[in-house]
């Protein structure tokens, strides 16, 4: 078989993609995972995963490394830090071009491109990214040793990462737009009992100010519209994710949020093209749900290939 010809190509190396790669490789299907960034996806940005079944406590980077090793052990080929420059997904044979020069072909493709942190899109946010504003507690938490920081958001990620950041910061203030949290009660309880964590509710950040680095967050109280300046050393933003699906526009069917639409077998509107993980239209986004999606997509792809043969 041509070295660039595969049974399955998986576009994305997060939890869903690595799981799909484990299943298809173990099924003796020649599998290639193409990942444009660091393998692991959103997992590697999570300081601690405590609700993954069978694992009491593990770092996201460590879990990603284990999944990657497992996929490679079964024979999966993984290429990371590449750029996908062209895709042909219709027809019996799918073609993926990488770095404007190398073409890979496969009988089936699984889209697992994941998502990325959602921005506030307020003045100063782009200016101070990397100079006081972060979207990754694991990556940047230790830069704020004994500093005062803000965490923006009210979901599980925001509250869980706020707790993890208390290992470094002297004070963590959670700013949330509603008067209640969307996180699990256990996450809310853990945050509220931490003496380093404080709360500003029904508020949002209207702007960021500083010079070479971030110095001030402008807090707007939503009911009154009143704004106030809060001196701060750093801000961590956890307000959800945007699906990484721009490159699939016009190729597969999506909803208004640019999430890929699939059926219960994770089949897209194209024969032999499946999708899984945070890039698809669904309600819940956890490592465990991404793993489930990846499993279903892999089994469906294997069944599709068997039927074609």
Is residue 1's pLDDT more than 60? no
**CATH code for the structural domain at 5-116+241-308:** 3.50.50.60
Kindly state the greatest CA–CA separation across the chain: 67
Tell me, what's the pLDDT at 152? Answer: 98
Q: Which tens digits make up the pLDDT trace of 89-98?
A: 999 999 999 9
Tell me, what's the pLDDT at 271? Answer: 97
CB 127 within 8 A of CB 211: no
- The CATH number of domain 119-237, selected from 3.90.199.10, 3.40.1350.10, 3.40.50.2300, 3.50.50.60: 3.50.50.60
For residues 299-307, average pLDDT: 98
CB 293 within 8 A of CB 266: yes
Tell me, what's the pLDDT at 283? Answer: 83
For residues 48-54, average pLDDT: 85
Tell me, what's the pLDDT at 284? Answer: 82
* Dihedral sign (CA 153, 139, 286, 304): positive
- How many CB atoms sit inside 10 A of residue 19's CB? 27
Q: Both tokens of residue 136?
A: 């990754």
For residues 102-108, average pLDDT: 97
pLDDT category at 84 given cuts 50, 70, 90 is: very high
Q: Which tens digits make up the pLDDT trace of 192-250?
A: 999 999 999 999 999 999 998 999 999 999 999 999 999 999 999 999 889 999 999 99
Q: Which tens digits make up the pLDDT trace of 132-189?
A: 999 988 778 999 999 999 999 999 989 999 999 999 999 999 999 999 999 999 999 9
d(CA 290, CA 195): 34
CATH 3.50.50.60 residue ranges for the chain:
5-116+241-308, 119-237
């Amino acid at each position: 078989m041509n070295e660039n010809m595969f049974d399955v190509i998986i576009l994305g190396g997060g939890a869903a993609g690595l799981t799909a790669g484990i299943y298809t490789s173990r099924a003796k299907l020649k599998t290639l995972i193409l990942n444009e960034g660091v393998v692991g996806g959103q997992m590697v940005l999570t300081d601690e995963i405590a609700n993954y079944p069978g694992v009491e406590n593990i770092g996201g980077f460590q879990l990603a490394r284990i999944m990657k090793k497992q996929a490679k052990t079964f024979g999966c080929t993984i290429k990371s830090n590449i750029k996908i420059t062209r895709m042909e997904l219709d027809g019996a044979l799918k073609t993926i071009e990488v770095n404007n020069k190398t073409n890979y072909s496969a009988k089936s493709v699984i889209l697992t491109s994941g998502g990325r942190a959602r921005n506030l899109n307020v003045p100063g946010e782009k200016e101070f990214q990397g100079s006081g504003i972060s979207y990754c507690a694991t990556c940047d938490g230790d830069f704020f040793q004994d500093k005062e920081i803000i965490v923006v958001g009210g979901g599980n990620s925001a509250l869980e990462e706020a707790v993890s950041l208390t290992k470094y910061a002297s004070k963590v203030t959670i700013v949330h737009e509603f008067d209640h949290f969307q996180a699990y009660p256990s996450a809310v309880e853990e945050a509220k009992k931490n003496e380093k964590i404080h709360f500003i509710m029904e508020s949002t950040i209207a702007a960021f100010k500083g010079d070479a680095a971030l110095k001030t967050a402008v807090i707007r109280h939503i009911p009154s519209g009143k704004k106030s300046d809060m001196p701060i050393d750093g801000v961590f933003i956890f307000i959800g994710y945007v699906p990484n699906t721009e490159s699939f526009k016009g190729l597969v069917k999506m909803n208004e949020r640019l999430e890929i639409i699939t059926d219960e077998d994770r089949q897209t509107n194209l024969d032999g093209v499946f999708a899984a993980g945070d890039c698809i239209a669904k309600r819940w986004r956890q490592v465990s749900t991404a793993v489930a999606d990846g499993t279903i997509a892999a089994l469906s792809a294997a069944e599709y290939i068997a039927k074609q043969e």
